[in-house]
Amino acid sequence: MKKFRTLLDLFFTFAKISAFTFGGGYAMISLIDHEVVEKRHWLDEEEFMNLTVIAESTPGPIAINSATYAGYKCAGIVGSVIATLGMVIPPFVIIYLISTFFRDILQIKAVASAFKGISVAVAIVIIRAGVKMARKILAKKRIRIALPALVLCLGFAITMSGYLGGFHVSTIWLILASGAAGFVIYAVKSFAGRKSR
């Protein structure tokens, strides 16, 4: 009975997030954080940070990957399926209804104006999620601050060089390089820890 309640809770939590969030997966991160970490305590802050990294690094939309991971953490494979369905079904139904009955919905002035206002709110929600995650990173050790700062500077430098000199590097290489650097740092720390024992 308790597991059934957990599954229902998972479904309706992620259904609520996906039904009432505009702007895609990044806009949902802040709401997922609020529901999963602050309100329901399914994950702690460290786990949520790891969840976000894994969800972004693996194929598929970040919001769906986050729901799958959180569901698995709470109730195993069944939980991951239920949480994923909760994240997928409401947007699917809404988009299906709009595409079927309201093909020219964006031609309606009131709707177009509403979406312009929503786009501003979405930008604020995404910025809020970024600031929140940055604060969590800054609260950790310096090595954890240095790596993201280095990647950010490197990404900015490559982007600017692309605009100025036509030089282009795929962000995939940045992700792989960051993963490799993180692995090396972890390996060095583990080796140093064993040696000090």
125-153 confidence digits (pLDDT tens): 667 766 776 676 666 655 556 666 676 77
Q: In the numeric block, which tokens belong to residue 82?
A: 């239920």
Q: What's the domain count of the chain? A: 2
Mean pLDDT of the chain: 78
Are residue 13 and residue 104 in the same domain, yes or no? Answer: yes
Q: Are residues 118 and 135 in the same domain?
A: yes
Residue 24 and residue 49 share a domain: yes
Domain that holds residue 76: 2-140
Could you tell me if 100 and 149 lie in one domain? no
Higher pLDDT, 105 or 64: 64
Q: What pLDDT is recorded for position 62?
A: 85
* CA 168/CA 152 separation, integer angstroms: 16
Predicted structure pTM score: 0.65
Q: 17 exposed, middle or buried (CB, 10 Å; 0-12, 13-18, 19+)?
A: buried
